[in-house]
Structure 1
Amino acid sequence: MSVIAIIIACGKQEEIAPGTEAAFLTLGSGPILSHSLKTLEEASCIDRVIVVVSKERVDAAMQIIRRYGCTKVRGVVIGGASRMSSLRTVFSKMPSDPSVVVIHEASRPFLSKKILAETVKGAKRYGSSIAAHKVEDSVKIAPKGMRVGETLDRNTVWTAQTPQAFKINVIKSIVETRNKGVKLIDDESALVTAPAETHLVEAGWTNMKIRSRHDLEIAAALLHARLVGDVVRFELRETPAAV
């Protein structure tokens, strides 16, 4: 089964400020985009990669691909205003359909090869599989202002992340629906029809999305401290007693 990964590096959801895509900001020794590209390049479960960027970022993306030796990249596609329109463009340019499609946001630089492999495996088995993180705090629903209308059971609430993997027939049925207002990553699970189902893969809080300058500072600190990996462990030590 062939697996293609699509990295979304453009659109309003990938900007931390108007006209400033997170993918092309520096994190550590290179652009944020380079971190995901390197992981996909090294992942045995990925056969090909397509990068989706804005028209103004094509040259920059090509430079990153060449600089980091990303041989799996088969194309750089100019994306649209939404992820759904970008995917429609990608599928219209694909010479042949893969078996599984993986979608990943470039603004999540700490992509884990383990989580990537698990989402691909989940897609092959269930039809759709997405990285997610179980909410640890209580969640309040306030439909009108600050008044709480409902409290959700935190044991059943997850935040959706990427990578998200789909069998080709599942993702094509979603992309080709032309439903207005559907936001891929947010609402795709509702469009996965039987016999396929959406399977969750716990990816942890370190699979963070960079949405602001503050997030970028946190990401830089995580990278520097080498806290990012398949598992993050904290060692608790007793505070010495005062003398």
Structure 2
Amino acid sequence: MRVVAIVVAAGSGSRMQTKIKKPYLEIAGVPLLVRTLRALERSALIREIVLVVREEELAEAKRLIDQYGIRKVIRYAAGGAERQDSVRNGLRMVDDAADLIVVHDGARPFVTADEIDRVIAAAAECGAATIGTPVKDTIKKVADGTVEETLPRETLFAVQTPQAFRAQLLRKAHAMAVAAGCRSTDDASLVEWTGHPVRVVEGSYRNIKITTPEDLLIAEAFVEREL
């Protein structure tokens, strides 16, 4: 089984409120993007990685990959206007021989090899899978500042990445989305939209996405506990 990962690291990172672009911010001295790529390299199932970055950041990304000895990144793609466009650009660089494609956020550095491998195994079995965690808060549906409905917490999961798919299924979902003008914030939603079921694999609350300055503080705390 040939598994290829697409790592999406082309966002603007505007909520981080720093002059340094988010993928290159350091967590305990190591760039965020490097930590994420190292996490994927620990999975023996992933054969290669396609890295999607902003075109103007390509040279910096390649420099870091050389500096830190990242071996599995062998192809690059330019980021698009939105995340969905970036993934689609990455798909164009995935070898036709790939059986499964894993999509992962470049800003999730704490995913484990076990989590990655369990998502891959689930996708190999049923075609599409995502990692996620049961929500801990009470979730309310709100309109114009007023609660419309309190949703049953026992049925709700916060969906993360990695997400894994049979290659042809993911390609088909993106092609259909382009034709229909469908937009989504993650690939699992696109696959759901085509009518294909997506399995949820329970993961860890540590698999946070670094989005705000507060997330960076939490990431530093995680690393310090590991030292």
Higher-Rg member (1/2): 1
Aligned partner of 1:233 in structure 2 is none
CA separation in 2, counterparts of 1:19 and 1:54? 15
RMSD of the TM alignment (CA)?
A: 2.0
Please tell me whether the aligned partners of residues 9 and 21 of structure 1 are also in contact (alpha carbons under 8 angstroms): no
Structure with the higher fraction of residues in helix conformation: 2
CA separation in 2, counterparts of 1:12 and 1:157? 29
Unaligned runs of 5+ in 2: none
Deviation, structure 1 residue 4: 0.3
Deviation, structure 1 residue 125: 0.7
Say which is worse superposed, 19-28 or 4-13, in terms of deviation: 19-28
CA separation in 2, counterparts of 1:14 and 1:155? 33
Please tell me whether the aligned partners of residues 12 and 81 of structure 1 are also in contact (alpha carbons under 8 angstroms): no
Aligned partner of 2:217 in structure 1 is 217
CA separation in 2, counterparts of 1:76 and 1:50? 5
Please tell me whether the aligned partners of residues 10 and 21 of structure 1 are also in contact (alpha carbons under 8 angstroms): no
Please tell me whether the aligned partners of residues 162 and 185 of structure 1 are also in contact (alpha carbons under 8 angstroms): no
What aligned pairs does 1:113-192 form with structure 2 within 5 A after superposition? 113-145=113-145, 147-177=146-176, 178=178, 179-185=181-187, 187-192=189-194
Aligned partner of 1:87 in structure 2 is 87
Structure 1 residues 14 and 36, CA, compared in 2 at 3 Å: closer, same or farther?
farther
Aligned partner of 2:64 in structure 1 is 64
Deviation above 6 Å: which 4+ runs of structure 1?
Answer: none
Alignment: residue pair count: 224
Q: Deviations over 1:69-98 (max 9, x none)?
A: 122111121111112212222233344241
Q: Deviations over 1:179-227 (max 9, x none)?
A: 3332225733532434xx2111111211001111111011101111129
Q: Deviations over 1:112-144 (max 9, x none)?
A: 100000000011011111011111221111122
Query: Identity over aligned residues, as a percent?
Result: 28
Please tell me whether the aligned partners of residues 5 and 101 of structure 1 are also in contact (alpha carbons under 8 angstroms): yes
Normalised by the length of structure 1, the TM-score is 0.85
Normalised by the length of structure 2, the TM-score is 0.91
Amino acid in the other structure paired with 1:181: R
CA separation in 2, counterparts of 1:79 and 1:72? 19
